[in-house]
Structure 1
């Protein structure tokens, strides 16, 4: 008669895992930080000082003084080129540490096809309404000319075809790209990552207007900044803002050349 000398071994049961344990949590989305703004500001300041020193050496102190007083159209266009290039370089320095994520953080991404025509059309209509409607109305009713000094400067630049082409490249192409990259790229992206899209829309619009300094120009530019911010928010891309801004500025320069 046989007898058992040990208990039967019970198979081990693997611990159950919940779906949340089985799936790894998604990596945090990259976003802009305050350090990016600081790096951009420092880089912009250093580049601007270096650029002005270079212009002083290249043009000479006397001509640089004439440029600053808007008495040298060619030199002033060169100054616009340098200033807007400094802005682009400063923003790039501010975000380059993010590597491949940097373009996305600045909203340099594809967008819906309808914004190709909708954004420029809306900006042009608003710009014409402000310049040819509001300013003319104030001039007719109050006898006050609120035309910004900047508009008069642009009119003084585009007096010949070569100057008009150079002004188009500086003010019509490079300028809008630099301004959009700073205000609705870097600043909008930073505020959006912390306080949401509506706060970013408002902040970028206000700072964009204040950057134009002259009170009359601030008042006229603010509605355009609001509309550009709305385009940025709805399209989730910077490119339609850049396109609309470029077309608006090119029309301004061409109109100044034809009017001269």
Structure 2
């Protein structure tokens, strides 16, 4: 995530973009900056000086598009990294991860797990809210600013709904959990769950995403196919993305 942001920043600067992927502050901070700009403009006008440039308060959509395109490229790189690190052909790797089959009758299991994941996340939010620890409330890592532009929204949707479920499950459950599984289920699930939660870079998501990571490892271990964690991940992201975009 950090490397992706650094690369995206470099690309944005090379394209002479004002790299802003989030709005400036809340409504009150925006109002304060507008008021300050009005004062500066009035003062410049009274002195006959050139008028100052208006403040940039909203996220730059071109920068957001660059960020998500770079993320998509990094997701493709993850697939290559997993393939190279395992030393298997695409066919052999697919078979080892159970990607050559899908058990449709058992598909209810990851769908039911999504429900419990949201219930658990809601319980966590209520718990930290009662304690008054607002920084431990989970926050979306996808900026709501993407909803202002159809192209940005489309690119973000592809990355979030297609790229993330496949590549993250391939890496965290296929490579990390699979690699540590010789130590037993719980150590492997804990390691992959911790890494999965930390990579989202949100303090409030660490606990719920760790639990979700363990649940995803259990789905993979129980079913023998990576399609179940991928299905869970897709539905979970689809619900969250829909709430963000249309809620």
Q: Does the TM-score normalized on the shorter chain lie above 0.5?
A: yes
Deviations 1:212-240 (A, max 9, x none): 23322212211111111111111011111
1:92 maps to 83
Unaligned residue ranges in structure 1 (runs of 5+): 1-47
Change (3 A) 1:213 1:141: closer
| 1:189 maps to which of 173, 178, 186 | 178
Structure 2 Cα separation of the partners of residues 251 and 177 of structure 1: 17
| 1:204 maps to which of 181, 189, 192 | 192
Structure 1 Cα separation of the partners of residues 103 and 77 of structure 2: 30
With 111-120 and 223-232 compared, the bigger mean Cα shift is at: 111-120
Structure 2 Cα separation of the partners of residues 175 and 99 of structure 1: 19
| 1:144 maps to which of 134, 138, 148 | 134
1:225 maps to 213
2:224 maps to 236
2:111 maps to 120
Change (3 A) 1:95 1:152: closer
1:156 maps to 145
Contact 2:120 2:208 in 1 (8 A): no
Structure 2 Cα separation of the partners of residues 57 and 74 of structure 1: 11
Structure 2 Cα separation of the partners of residues 187 and 223 of structure 1: 16
| TM-score (norm: length of structure 2) | 0.69
Contact 2:136 2:203 in 1 (8 A): no
Alpha-carbon distance, 1:89 to partner: 2.2
With 242-251 and 95-104 compared, the bigger mean Cα shift is at: 95-104
Alpha-carbon distance, 1:121 to partner: 2.5
| 1:134 maps to which of 103, 124, 131 | 124
RMSD: 3.1
1:165 maps to 154
Using CA pairs below 8 Å that are at least 6 residues apart, which structure has the higher relative contact order?
1
Unaligned residue ranges in structure 2 (runs of 5+): 24-58
